[in-house]
Amino acid sequence: MLSSGQGAFVISRLSSYSTVAVLSGTLQRAIAQGRAAWPDLEIPDDAFAAYLLERAAEADVGNLHASDLYLACGCSRGDARAIARFEEAFMTPVEGIVRGVRGADHLAADITQTVRMRLLSDVSGRRRIDDYRGTGPLAGWVRIVALRLASNARRDAGARPTLEGLPVPLPPTIEDATVRARYGAAFNDAFRRAFAALDSEERLVLRLHYADGLNLDAVADALDFSRATAGRRVLAARKKVRDETLRVLGEELKVTREELESLLVALGSHLEVSLGALVSA
């Protein structure tokens, strides 16, 4: 059970709970979930409670994936049994995940080892497994880490595109060329701001689809969505970027919505190329 001192610490960290008893019960349930999922691990209650509370700034303790965090806590502490369980449950599928990234399949073994070292090796007193916050399943988080490393490895063979040097196709008319020359810089600035305004999940789905080259089936697998949900998320995020880009441009250029729509027609291919360039940066 939590001591009175630990209870006071808990209250200072989570204002959403009104009494020590309520919070203590929430933590005890989380501890029980962790023990039930990994019965051979021996993690001190106070250590796991502190580990949970460090992650409670983003979600209430009761909404976190307690059993996954219990294992992550053990790995963070360098517990050999916890690391062995993590290997069995989460590292075994990684090589297959990497082989699903076009152009990175021949690097699957090396990338798998990189994932292992990055998450579990003690570097400067911490392991990167501590970056897992418990707001989603640990399996999905490890999948995303593996996919990002695989995509980065694939892109290392060539130059990464930048928003300043976009390979924009030649415009079909002199008028379009004039529009791009006059408004290209304003568009790039508005586009960056629109992308920055997305939430973390929206940015992630665009990165996976446009920068990492994953099709909707692969995006769905990476994020544990259905294919239909993955498609909706990609389209919704893309539309949000487009609409926000138009809004920012309208404010900066002092033009009407109709004029903005015409402008975007001239910059249409620029939008597609920019998505790939910006999310790769």
pLDDT above 50 for 8: no
Strand partners, 126: 123
Question: What DSSP string describes 179-208?
Answer: HHHHHHHHHHHHHHHHHHTS-HHHHHHHII
pLDDT of residue 24: 77
pLDDT of residue 59: 56
Q: What is the mean pLDDT of the chain?
A: 75
* Same domain, residue pair 90 and 227: no
Compute the average pLDDT of residues 217-224: 74
* Same domain, residue pair 66 and 188: no
pLDDT of residue 138: 92
Three-state SS at 226: coil
* Same domain, residue pair 183 and 114: no
Residue-number span of the structural domain to which 120 is assigned: 4-155
Q: Is residue 137 part of a domain?
A: yes
Compute the average pLDDT of residues 73-86: 94
* Same domain, residue pair 23 and 108: yes
Q: Is residue 123 part of a domain?
A: yes
Residue pointed to by tokens 């989460």: 90
Compute the average pLDDT of residues 76-95: 91
Residues of the chain with pLDDT > 70: what percent? 66
Q: Is residue 31 part of a domain?
A: yes
Burial 51-87 (b: 16+ CB within 10 A, else e): bbbebbeeeebbebbbbbbbbbbbbbbebeebbebbe
Q: Is residue 226 part of a domain?
A: yes
**d(Cα 3, Cα 78) in Å, to the nearest integer?**
26
| CA 129 vs CA 44, 159, 207, 252, 253: distances in Å | 18, 30, 22, 43, 46
| pLDDT per residue as tens digits for the range 257-274 | 677 666 666 555 445 545
pLDDT of residue 180: 62
Mean pLDDT highest for which of 45-49, 101-105, 162-166, 215-219?
45-49
Residue pointed to by tokens 């040097």: 165
Model pTM score = 0.56
Tell me 224's DSSP state: T
**d(Cα 6, Cα 50) in Å, to the nearest integer?**
9
| Greater pLDDT, 58 or 242 | 242
* Same domain, residue pair 115 and 220: no
Mean pLDDT highest for which of 94-108, 113-127, 151-165, 250-264?
113-127
Going by C-alpha positions, the residue among 86, 90, 62, 65 that lies closest to residue 74 is 86
Going by C-alpha positions, the residue among 37, 112, 23, 102 that lies closest to residue 68 is 37
Q: At 65, is the pLDDT very low, low, confident or very high (cuts 50, 70, 90)?
A: very high
**d(Cα 168, Cα 184) in Å, to the nearest integer?**
11
**d(Cα 146, Cα 94) in Å, to the nearest integer?**
7
| Greater pLDDT, 203 or 266 | 203
pLDDT above 90 for 279: no
pLDDT of residue 57: 65
pLDDT of residue 264: 65
- Exposure of 172 in the CB half-sphere (CA atoms within 13 A): 5
* Same domain, residue pair 199 and 98: no
* Same domain, residue pair 117 and 223: no
Q: At 177, is the pLDDT very low, low, confident or very high (cuts 50, 70, 90)?
A: low
pLDDT of residue 157: 46
Burial 4-40 (b: 16+ CB within 10 A, else e): eebbebbbebbeebeeeeebbebbeebbebbbebbee
Q: At 70, is the pLDDT very low, low, confident or very high (cuts 50, 70, 90)?
A: very high
pLDDT of residue 271: 53
pLDDT above 90 for 36: yes
**d(Cα 32, Cα 66) in Å, to the nearest integer?**
9
Looking at the structure of the chain, the number of domains it has is 2
